[in-house]
Amino acid sequence: MTTEIASSAPAAPAGAAGPGRRPASAARRQRSEVGVLTTLGHLALLVWAILVIAPLLWTILASFKSNTEIFLGNPFALPGTFNFDSYARAWSEANVGRYFLNSVFVVTLSTTGTMLLGAMAAYVLARYPFPGNRVIYYLFVSGLAFPVFLALVPLFLVVNNLGLLNTYTGLILVYIAYSLPFTVFFLAAFFKTLPQSVAEAAMMDGASHSRLFFQVMMPMARPALVSIAIFNIIGQWNQYLLPVALMQGEGADRKWVLTQGIASISTSAGYQADWAALFAALTLSILPMILVYALFQRQIQSGLTAGAVK
């Protein structure tokens, strides 16, 4: 399931090929070709790396500038003094602190819920044959194929009818629901690979079905659970369409999540013109993600690609 398939590739037969065996002309031709192409390639890689880093770095640097520096100064200049005023303004006056904590709260609960419910469903669907098993499995997986926009209007009405519009409960339930297809799809495939003998041994020792799940199967599935949890955290933290559609109405702005809040600051910044605070708000939303990414880089990359490379 990981992307490191290279290590499982069969080892090359010893001495089958070495640089010395190559015909001399081909080697020479290749060497000159390598020179030009590698230089161009290196250049392209470097340019793209700069293109990726520059806007992010510029955003972070601008958050320390004053409004005058941002508007009248050279956009490439370093800030005159590194002051954190803009962060204080963004955090309290522009409510970024509130939005940030709202996001943390919602994503913590919804990811936990997604993992628990997703793992339960996936486990039963993967390891317990019963009539209707396949039907339920395909119902879950079919959710991967539908565009969320199709459901948008009825979803709004359903949530509204349940009285859950503009509530954390509603948003969390919806996050869980829309994360289930991928979670179930991925975890079901993983639970299938766990050995039956362990399950039988536990049963012989008198474990109940749910005890078997929580004390034997869940710990064994840890690597897969971690990958999918990270995937869900990133996805739900970055979600925009669902909160924008569901967190509206009286006093909704107090419950906004970070993406929503920052989009709103960005549109109103044109009038208030506190650009430094906007840049600070952006930095506050970029840095945690870059940090999480730096820490879990391998799991994130393999987790995000695992669904595609099977």
Beta carbon of residue 18, minimum distance to another protein (angstroms, whole number): 7
Which residue of 109, 225, 247, 300 would you call a contact of another protein, by CB under 8 A?
A: 300
Residue type at position 65? K
d(CA 180, CA 205): 32
- Using rule CB under 8 A, residue 276 touches another protein: no
Q: Rule CB under 8 A: is residue 151 a binding residue for another protein?
A: yes
In the chain, the amino acid numbered 262 is I
Nearest distance, CB of residue 222 and another protein, angstroms: 19
Count residues binding another protein (CB under 8 A): 116
Under rule CB under 8 A, residue 163 binds another protein: no
Contact string (CB under 8 A) for another protein, positions 2-21, x = contact: -xxxx--xx-xx--xxxx-x
Is 172:109 a contact under the CB 8 Å cutoff? Answer: yes
Instruction: For another protein, give the closer residue by CB, 167 or 248.
Output: 248
Q: How far is the CB of 281 from another protein (least distance, A)?
A: 9
What is the rounded distance in angstroms from the CA atom of residue 246 to the CA atom of residue 166?
A: 6
For 73, the token pair is 């100064």
- Backbone φ, ψ for residue 79 (5° rounding): -60, 145
Alpha helical stretches, state H, 207-274: 209-211, 218-220, 222-237, 241-246, 258-272
Site for another protein in 27-46 (CB under 8 A): 29-30, 33-34, 37-38, 41-42, 44-45
Over the Cα atoms of the chain, what is R_g? 26
Q: Which of 108, 246, 103, 105 is nearest to 170 (CA)?
A: 246
List the one residue from 79, 98, 209, 218 that touches another protein (CB under 8 A): 209
Tell me if 176 contacts another protein by CB under 8 A: yes
* Least separation in angstroms between CB 71 and another protein: 5
**Given the rule CB under 8 A, which of 79-87, 169-177, 185-193, 221-229 is the region that contacts another protein?**
169-177
Closest Cα to residue 103, out of 226, 238, 232? 238
Angle at Cα 80 formed by Cα 75 and Cα 86, nearest 5°? 85
- Taking alpha carbons only, the member of 220, 232, 231, 218 closest to residue 303 is 231
- Does 128 bind another protein (CB under 8 A)? Our answer is yes
Q: Does 58 bind another protein (CB under 8 A)?
A: yes
Q: Is 249 in the site for another protein (CB under 8 A)?
A: no
Pick from 217, 245, 276, 280 the residue near another protein by CB under 8 A: 245
Chosen residue from 78, 88, 101, 153 binding another protein by CB under 8 A: 153
**What is the separation, in whole angstroms, between the first and last Cα of the chain?**
7
Residues 213-242 that bind another protein (CB under 8 A): 213, 234, 237-241
Q: Considering only residues 77 through 116, tell me which ones interact with another protein, judged by CB under 8 A.
A: none
